[in-house]
Structure 1
Amino acid sequence: MKMRTLLAGIVAAATMLGGMAAVATSAQAADVTITVNNSQSGHTYTPYKFANLEVDANDPSKVEVTTADGWSDAVKTAAGLDDAGNATPANKKLYASNPAAYVATFNAAQLRGFAHNLLATGKTVDGTATSGTDGKSASIPVSGEGWYLVTDSFTKDGKPTTGVNAIVATTINGHTGDFKVVGDAVTGQGNIQALGQFNAKNENAPQPPTKEVKLGNVDVNGKSASVGDTLSFTINVPVPANAAGYDEYPFTITDTASKGLKMPSTSEYKITDAAKKDITRLFTITPNGDAANGTTTTFTVTDPKNTPQYAGQTLVVTYNATVTEDAINAGSVDNSATISTNNGASGNGTTKVYNYGFSLTKKDKDGDTLKGAVFQLYDESGKRSISSTVSTDGNGKAAWSGLAAGTYTVKETKAPAGYSQQFLPKFKVTITQNQNDPAKATVTIEEGDTFGLATESNGDITVLNVKNASQLPLTGAAGTAMFTVVALLVAAAGVTLAVKSRQRVH
């Protein structure tokens, strides 16, 4: 049997899958190409024609299939028609001279197996091998109309790799719209409905998501925030375009937060589609961990049949998380997100938000450290207190941590026993993020408080206590301030004496 006449409907069934959709172009046979939708960068698509297809001149509803020269043995082996194959003895005999006609009778599952088994070893390329580009169509020039094996080769882990084959039919005598195509969703071809295209079967890993983090309306990724701040996170999640070709497409987003972030309850997450419609209900949200150790949260499409409708869209996950004291030792809170599909896991989309601290040393005029001085930290205005009071320890140290870069006001509220409660310093400290190494910051103060008791050198802050006005520094503004204070004290004493004198006269 040299030729097999087929109904067009059978051709559609036979060529609907597998990386194996029926494919054509509107060009005539002299200028035929195969279009690969959603081609992948780093992949090379190479065409080999194993059969000829021709519309029956007497009945255009029928197609004639003949095996291409040199392909008979390879097609027999792949189709199970050889001596060791699983075809029935009757079919082995019937299709011995034209095994491609037997393949044209296959259902989707059989054709998937045939595509997997068909080898191009020792065969000549019938067209031009073409490189892909992620997310874009690639056009493969072929030597003429027919039924093609298209191989997909790429490098994985440094080694040459061959992916899943495609079985592809081109135009038939230039016809493009006369034959119905039903794509095989099992192999990602479910959205193929007409001649002229097939979807790349072998995908690269999904494109990584991107992450954003804000404090209010300010982008703080790579910047800083304080313990107690509530940060707003956004994950932009691209859904692979070729998900449209599948009936079911598993899809999971994994969000990993370092220790120091108190994550929200599951009901506080929100997921929206490209039209900003809330689709949170389509996901199962599963948290694991806590702020003290770090939290991993997964967002899994509950029913994979829901994924294809979002193919090519960017989904958006939003939530708020609070910085806790667990972030202090680490110096930052880190957050990353990945996407997992049936083609593997993506790279990470990440954010990092730092926090800093500073300390001071309390001394007397002789340079001895003082214990028991009490300080309160305020915002730059000096009106809003930050955390509780801090007392100097046995080494005269007082410290603050978990702070964002910025300017703060430090007030001593109580001097150590035996020291003046009247001459208490108040000064501003500025924390500046190092632009070359954002994990580090520099600490500076203003010239000092009114009394000149606070000084800074290379980030080391020293604050003095005095027992009386005579021990105040006598330089610059501090000296002027001291004389002003003394003058006021003298004036106050004078007023007191005058009042007492008048009391005696009366």
Structure 2
Amino acid sequence: MKKVPFVGRTVAIAALLAGLTLSPAPAMAKTSATDVEDSSFTLTNIAKGDVVNAYQIFDADIDGTNNLTYTSKVTGLPEAYDTVEKMQSERDGRKLADAISAKVLASQGTPKQTATAGSDGHATLTLDSGYWLVVVTSNSGVTKVYQTLLVDATPAVSNGAYVTKTFEQPTAAKTEDVPAPDKKIVDANGNAGQSSDSYGVGDTARFQIGATIPNYPADATHITYSVTDQPDAGLAVDVSSFAVTNGQETLNKDTDYTVKDNGDHTYTVHFTHNYILAHPGQAVTIAYSAKVKAVNMQTGKVGNKAFGTFSPNPYTAGNVNTEPKDPWAQTYGFSFRKLGDKDAALAGAQFTVTDAAGKPVTYVDASGTAHTDGVVASDSNGYVYVNGLKAGTYKVSETKVPSGYQKIADFTVELSADSAKSDTLATDGVTETNFNVSTPDKVDPKQGVLPTTGGAGTIALTAGGVLLVVGGGIVVARFRNREQD
């Protein structure tokens, strides 16, 4: 989705006091015999499909004595602005617009003139002489919200006579952005960025969302702003951890905002009506934590989208969403193959993986199942598979040796963006992009063979003993014969 901008409250008061500078256009119909032709009003810088609505505030007419008069078309205007003269005396355009816009729309309901912007971003209205409120409604895919305009289409004077008000150039609609929330993941050192590899499965990651409160008119009838979080299934959000700040100020939950678990593994921070009006255009930060329980088995990532929702039309119902931002936690894996006699795959060799602090790791196996004891065994093809680890150095120790084999020496594996970026042959039909596969095959030496009881070794020993006994007997017999001689 594309970025959604939002309007500020500034109003082009010059349009009311001196007339907007617009392109020349042919005169249209009169509303009375003494009236002038209608004026053509062109607005530019509008997205294709957006609708321009015009509401007449005062109708200007020329009576039979050539006197210019005004008739109010709006009921309920504030007393301070219920005449043309009072409106003209107000030098603060924002204050004037804030005071009358909602009243004008509520009184007239349906606009008197409507035009839809074409592919050139232009929309042209035919305006009866008088004063008008022009409001652009966002209906397009790019969804803009525009500045409210007060337009003076009062007849002009030329050579001592009233003539149709013409405008020399088109007027460009003005907009003010509401930036899409900027979501980041905060690493173990407190640095925020688009990604972090300092969290693995079993760790609690921290996230923060920077958002901007929309700048609504004070009299807006439709005010809303919220930020929705969409974590991947592998993240378990701690709803109680949500905290919102404005600079050094901590906002009050329920008074300034609420947090809702939407029941579909999404969470929304809603800002209250009063807070939005009291803090237009101000930046806020939403912080919370989520436990990493699983990762994408191919990439090792687990993402967490966020987007803003607000009413683009301050006086009309309907909400739009901003473009989502999706930071992620990056994890890594490693694999190696265990071999036995004659380089045959050796299944059942058991290893324990520990981190730099000597603590057994939490990891996920090839099926995506999490293990918290760091113990992993070679599969039927001899492969050892470990995934979901944060960046770091890990020690691998063989802790259970298959019968007839000897334990190999401990070794280490380094995991980082540079070392873990390969596919592993330990899985069929899955292409990983986050594995360190540089560890060579590990071969368990066979145990030394002792002589077997009743075997050839025993026979050889027995024969040697017999010879010794016979030889000893011969020596003894000779010794006795010498004594007798």
Q: TM-score range by the shorter chain?
A: 0.5 to 0.7
The Cα of 1:288 is off from its aligned counterpart by 3.4
Q: Distance in 1 between matches of 2:75 and 2:259?
A: 45
The Cα of 1:405 is off from its aligned counterpart by 2.6
Judge which range, 228-237 or 210-219, deviates more. Answer: 210-219
Counterpart for residue 440 of structure 1: 433
Q: How many residue pairs align between the two structures? A: 337
Is the alpha carbon distance of 1:385 and 1:95 closer, same or farther for their aligned partners in structure 2, counting shifts above 3 Å?
farther
1:341 aligns with 2:314: no
1:428 aligns with 2:412: yes
Q: Is the 8 A contact 1:284 1:299 kept in 2?
A: yes
Counterpart for residue 381 of structure 2: 395
The one-letter code of the counterpart of 1:252 is: S
The 5-angstrom pairing of residues 15-94 of structure 1 reads: 23=13, 69-71=36-38
- SS of the residue 1:299 aligns to: strand
Is the alpha carbon distance of 1:297 and 1:280 closer, same or farther for their aligned partners in structure 2, counting shifts above 3 Å?
same
Is the alpha carbon distance of 1:157 and 1:46 closer, same or farther for their aligned partners in structure 2, counting shifts above 3 Å?
farther
Counterpart for residue 315 of structure 1: 284
Q: Distance in 2 between matches of 1:273 and 1:297?
A: 20
Counterpart for residue 37 of structure 1: none
Is the alpha carbon distance of 1:348 and 1:99 closer, same or farther for their aligned partners in structure 2, counting shifts above 3 Å?
farther
Counterpart for residue 138 of structure 1: none
- SS of the residue 2:343 aligns to: coil
Is the alpha carbon distance of 1:22 and 1:373 closer, same or farther for their aligned partners in structure 2, counting shifts above 3 Å?
closer
TM-score by length of 2: 0.56
1:359 aligns with 2:342: no
TM-score by length of 1: 0.54
Q: Distance in 2 between matches of 1:208 and 1:278?
A: 21
Q: Distance in 2 between matches of 1:361 and 1:226?
A: 23
**Structure 2 residue aligned with 1:404, among 386, 390, 402?**
390
1:213 aligns with 2:194: no
The Cα of 1:166 is off from its aligned counterpart by 2.6
Counterpart for residue 452 of structure 2: none
- SS of the residue 2:404 aligns to: coil
1:280-333 Cα offsets, whole Å, 9 max, x none, are 22323211357xxxx2001123x4233111111111111111100365566211
The Cα of 1:338 is off from its aligned counterpart by 1.1
1:434-466 Cα offsets, whole Å, 9 max, x none, are 5998983352xxxxxxxxxxxxxx636411101
Q: Is the 8 A contact 2:395 2:411 kept in 1?
A: yes
- SS of the residue 1:419 aligns to: coil
Counterpart for residue 274 of structure 2: 305
**Structure 2 residue aligned with 1:376, among 328, 343, 352?**
352
Based on CA coordinates, which of the two structures has the bigger radius of gyration? 2
Q: Distance in 1 between matches of 2:230 and 2:408?
A: 46
The Cα of 1:101 is off from its aligned counterpart by 3.6
> Which ranges in structure 1 are unaligned for 5 or more consecutive residues?
1-17, 35-44, 50-66, 83-90, 122-130, 132-145, 171-199, 444-457, 471-506
Counterpart for residue 288 of structure 1: 262
The one-letter code of the counterpart of 2:72 is: Y
- SS of the residue 1:385 aligns to: coil
- SS of the residue 2:326 aligns to: strand
Q: Distance in 2 between matches of 1:235 and 1:202?
A: 27
Q: Is the 8 A contact 2:336 2:383 kept in 1?
A: yes
The Cα of 1:261 is off from its aligned counterpart by 0.6
> Which ranges in structure 2 are unaligned for 5 or more consecutive residues?
1-7, 25-33, 42-54, 78-99, 116-121, 123-128, 154-171, 313-319, 362-371, 423-431, 450-485
Q: Is the 8 A contact 1:354 1:404 kept in 2?
A: yes
Q: Percent identity?
A: 22
Q: Distance in 2 between matches of 1:111 and 1:95?
A: 30
Q: Is the 8 A contact 2:58 2:74 kept in 1?
A: no
Counterpart for residue 31 of structure 2: none
